[in-house]
Amino acid sequence: MIELDLTTRLASLKLKNPVITASGTCGYGEELKEYLDPDIPGAITVKGLTIKPSVGNPAPRITETPAGILNSIGLENPGLEEFLATKLSVIGKLNVPVLVNISGHSLDDFAFLAEKLAPYPQIAGLEVNVSCPNLAGGGMAFGTDSELVYRVAYRVKENYPGPVIIKLTPNVTDIVEMAEAAVAGGADIISLINTLLAMAIDIDDKRPLLGNTFGGLSGPAIKPVALRMVYQVASRVKIPIIGMGGIMTGRDAIEFILAGASAVAVGTATLIDPGAVARIIEEIKEYMIEKEIKRIKDLIGQAL
Ligand code: SIN
């Protein structure tokens, strides 16, 4: 039996394996503990945080599609004050790096959150969400303008000493332009992709099905798009990439790693099977044994 090394690096972060929980799909880590030991993932990304609490968008906020789901949650979250008062102690008990996803309506919002979260060692890094399709006056509006991507990255880096991940949206013509803007702004890591802007219509009511009309499509339907974008970005930028978008199996994860991702994030799969992350890690190991690969790092970017 070969000794497997699943460790990977994301800038200054060392992960024991390359599978991260995607933001918004595992709460604050402990909600899933009945199904997924929170010490198993390589890292945990918590739900997107805004300065003020948010109740999110009107229902219905989630619907199934033939090969994925549509969500228009609208960043429901307790807000910074409540997060610091009640959630920080929860994530402080976890034994894996915890990444906090932050969102805002202005550059100052991002800078403010970065500054307020900087003192807490319980937080291993920030994932900066410039890609939420469900936020009026923020979110994706930043991620579709390379000048704004640059400025958000710059302002967060100015205020936060730890690793900064910029999470990109696929709803752009040129994903490489956005990735390069993030790098120019000082990003340490890029994560991609967030969801694809989409919709569904209720043909009985003759109305958009989601309360917010549009939502973000995730799941297996978007995997080929996500993989293409990871490949394009990895071909051009030198900082580490977290690949995500429709990863359901270990073999899907391996595709992203071969395309240049140093780690992957799993989201929709967890909504179907809350233990998916553990299964995917085992499936990655099976592939490595089958192909006699000792170190996962040796696979990064092999398809480029
Ligand atoms: C949401 O809360 O609307 C989803 C978050 C996102 O897509 O970034």
Q: Report pLDDT for 98.
A: 98
Q: Report pLDDT for 138.
A: 78
Atom of ligand 1 lying closest to residue 134 CA: 3
In a domain, 74, yes or no: yes
Query: Cα 289 to the chain's mean position, in Å?
Result: 28
Q: Are strands 125-129 and 68-71 parallel, antiparallel or unpaired?
A: unpaired
In a domain, 283, yes or no: yes
Q: Percent of the chain scored above 70 by pLDDT?
A: 100
Q: Between residues 132 and 188, which one has the greater pLDDT? A: 188
Is the sign of the CA dihedral 217, 219, 224, 230 positive or negative? positive
Q: Report pLDDT for 136.
A: 81
Integer Cα distance of 147 and 181 in angstroms: 7
Query: Does pTM surpass 0.95?
Result: yes
| Stretch 167-177: mean pLDDT | 98
In the structure, what pLDDT confidence band is assigned to residue 2 with cuts at 50, 70 and 90?
confident
Q: Percent of the chain scored above 90 by pLDDT?
A: 95
In the structure, what pLDDT confidence band is assigned to residue 140 with cuts at 50, 70 and 90?
confident
Instruction: State the distance from the centre of ligand 1 to the C-alpha of 124, rounded, in angstroms.
Output: 21
Integer Cα distance of 248 and 157 in angstroms: 32
Least confidently predicted of 30-34, 210-214, 274-278, 295-299: 30-34
By C-alpha distance, which of 174, 169, 171 is closest to 152? 169
In a domain, 3, yes or no: no
Residue 201 region by backbone torsions, left for phi larger than 0, else alpha for psi between -120 and 50, else beta: beta
DSSP 195-255: PEEEE-EETTTTEESSTTSEEEEESGGGHHHHHHHHHHHHHH--S-EEEESS--SHHHHHH
Q: What is the CATH number of the domain that holds 116?
A: 3.20.20.70
Domains of the chain: total: 1
Residue whose pair of structure tokens reads 């752009």 in the numeric block? 172
Q: Report pLDDT for 137.
A: 77
Coil, helix or strand at residue 56: coil
Coil, helix or strand at residue 109: helix
Is the pLDDT score of 134 beyond 90? no
- Active site annotation includes 132: yes
Kindly state the DSSP code that residue 12 receives in the 8-state scheme. T
Instruction: State the distance from the centre of ligand 1 to the C-alpha of 292, rounded, in angstroms.
Output: 38
In the structure, what pLDDT confidence band is assigned to residue 135 with cuts at 50, 70 and 90?
confident
Pocket test for ligand 1, best of 61, 70, 132 (most atoms within 8 A of CB): 132
| Stretch 178-196: mean pLDDT | 98
Is the sign of the CA dihedral 36, 41, 44, 45 positive or negative? negative
Q: Report pLDDT for 266.
A: 98
In a domain, 2, yes or no: no
In a domain, 1, yes or no: no
CB 49 within 8 A of CB 113: yes
By C-alpha distance, which of 138, 133, 267 is closest to 213? 133
Pocket test for ligand 1, best of 73, 131, 142 (most atoms within 8 A of CB): 73
Is the pLDDT score of 35 beyond 90? yes
Task: Provide residues with CB under 6 Å of ligand 1.
Answer: 24, 48, 71, 73-75, 129, 131-134, 194-195, 216
Instruction: State the distance from the centre of ligand 1 to the C-alpha of 77, rounded, in angstroms.
Output: 11
DSSP 262-303: SEEEE-HHHHH-TTHHHHHHHHHHHHHHHHT--BGGGGTTTT
Q: Report pLDDT for 172.
A: 97
Query: Cα 304 to the chain's mean position, in Å?
Result: 22
In the structure, what pLDDT confidence band is assigned to residue 30 with cuts at 50, 70 and 90?
confident
Q: Please report, for the chain, how many H helices and E strands are present, in that order.
A: 10, 16
In the structure, what pLDDT confidence band is assigned to residue 161 with cuts at 50, 70 and 90?
very high
Integer Cα distance of 109 and 60 in angstroms: 28
Query: Could you list the residue range(s) of the whole structural domain that residue 269 is in?
Result: 8-299
Q: What is the mean pLDDT of the chain?
A: 97
In a domain, 304, yes or no: no
Catalytic-role residue among 75, 132, 165, 276: 132
Integer Cα distance of 244 and 230 in angstroms: 9
pLDDT in tens, 200-210: 999 999 999 99
In a domain, 117, yes or no: yes
pLDDT in tens, 93-107: 999 999 999 999 999
Q: Are strands 8-10 and 13-15 parallel, antiparallel or unpaired?
A: antiparallel
Residue whose pair of structure tokens reads 């974008």 in the numeric block? 229
Residue whose pair of structure tokens reads 């948010």 in the numeric block? 54
Least confidently predicted of 108-122, 134-148, 173-187, 279-293: 134-148
Token pair recorded at residue 294? 């000792």
One-letter identity of residue 28: Y
pLDDT in tens, 189-200: 999 999 999 999
Is the pLDDT score of 141 beyond 90? no
In a domain, 234, yes or no: yes
In the structure, what pLDDT confidence band is assigned to residue 82 with cuts at 50, 70 and 90?
very high
